Amino acid sequence: MSTIPITLLTGFLGSGKTSLLRRLIHQPGFARCAVIINEFGEVGLDQALVADQSDDRDIQLLDSGCLCCLASSAIQDTLASLYYRRLRGEIPWFDRVLIETSGLAEPGPIINAVYGDGALASQFRFSSIVATFDAGFGQTDSQAYAEAKTQLLMADTVVLTKVDLHPQARHLAAWLGELNPTARVYENSLPDDQLARLLLDPAADGPASGPAAPAASLARQSSALGHLLAYGIHSVAVDIPEPIGWPAWAAFVHEVQRTFADRLLRLKGVLAFAGQGPMVVHAVHHVFSAPEPAGAVPARLAGKLVFIVRDMARDEVRHAARHLLAPPHADDI
């Protein structure tokens, strides 16, 4: 049985993630999706979450087929409950999950809480991290609060919000591209159905239309991979142009886990494995996901590892990657 993909929706306080979610949960793309709303956030979904007289007062099935759930316990307990109630037929079947975090939450602990649970790790996998970014106050927040900066750095997709109120802020797409060169950037003025598809499916990266096109284009064109950030947080990109062997990957993982610890916020990329082809690799802190076949490889990630680290010298990061730069031996394949 394949694992259920999880999309993590994050964003700093007031950045518009609940407003975005309220727009999207009624879209067809959210059919067969379970949405978990963090109880500490601004729920803002009272009309959608009207409890009936059944025992499932924390769950509501919407007209789109989306299953909304208010997290009333630890995220591990909520996911486990949904999973087994799904198997028993007590709630409608769902194929994916979206978790909305609170505005002050860093993504890392949430991801590691799931991957650190053996049962959940065999049932779920994190597909992508989506961060909302306020066109008016996002830059100020990311400079003042480490949580806001970390959310942006760890995101696979950034949604630029409130551009209608701050039309002069479209230049922020280029700034976001420097901040996180591997993230897709879209404006929330895209049609709801298109935005829902893009956020839930990381592979749905077709050409953007309308006001979002310049944002996506500028983010991809940025090559400022070494942009230095506040709080000692920065990104380091390492090119791995040749196929690697599994022993080399194991040696690399061991060294990163031993020496980086929590200084590694996130690692992501696509590497060619000898005899296997392109594989997507991910890590959050010391927890590495098993490499998975890449399918359509995003050009910005092919043959590249991007480390997002705190208080680490670039040479220290690149030193760990030396295991991956030597060509594999025949017995490594």
Task: Express each pLDDT in 3-25 by its tens digit.
Answer: 999 999 999 888 888 889 888 88
CA distance 269 to 56: 40
pLDDT tens-digit map of 254-269 = 999 999 877 888 888 8
The answer to whether residues 195 and 24 touch, using CB atoms and an 8 Å cutoff, is yes
- In tens, the pLDDT along 138-185 reads 888 888 888 898 899 889 999 999 888 887 777 888 888 888 878 899
Beta carbons within 10 angstroms of residue 241's beta carbon: 10
CA distance 280 to 286: 17
Confidence of residue 294 (pLDDT cuts 50, 70, 90): confident
In this predicted structure, what is the pLDDT of residue 332?
55
Q: CATH classification of 230-332 is 3.30.1220.10, yes or no?
A: yes
Q: Please state, in angstroms and rounded to a whole number, the distance separating the CA atoms of residues 272 and 195.
A: 31
Q: 213 pLDDT exceeds 50?
A: no
Q: Which CATH class is domain 4-221?
A: alpha beta
Is there a common fold for 4-221 and 230-332?
A: no
Q: Of 52-56, 71-75, 142-146, 221-225, where does mean pLDDT reach its minimum?
A: 221-225
Spacing of C-alpha 127 from chain mean position:
7
Residue boundaries of the structural domains of the chain:
4-221, 230-332
What pLDDT score does 207 carry?
35
Query: Where is pLDDT greater, at 82 or 71?
Result: 82
The whole-number pLDDT of residue 164 equals 84
User: Quick one: pLDDT at residue 296?
Assistant: 65
* Statement: residue 277 has pLDDT above 70: yes
User: What is residue 97's predicted lDDT score, i.e. its pLDDT?
Assistant: 94
The verdict on pTM exceeding 0.85 is: no
Burial class (CB in 10 A: 0-12, 13-18, 19+), 63: exposed
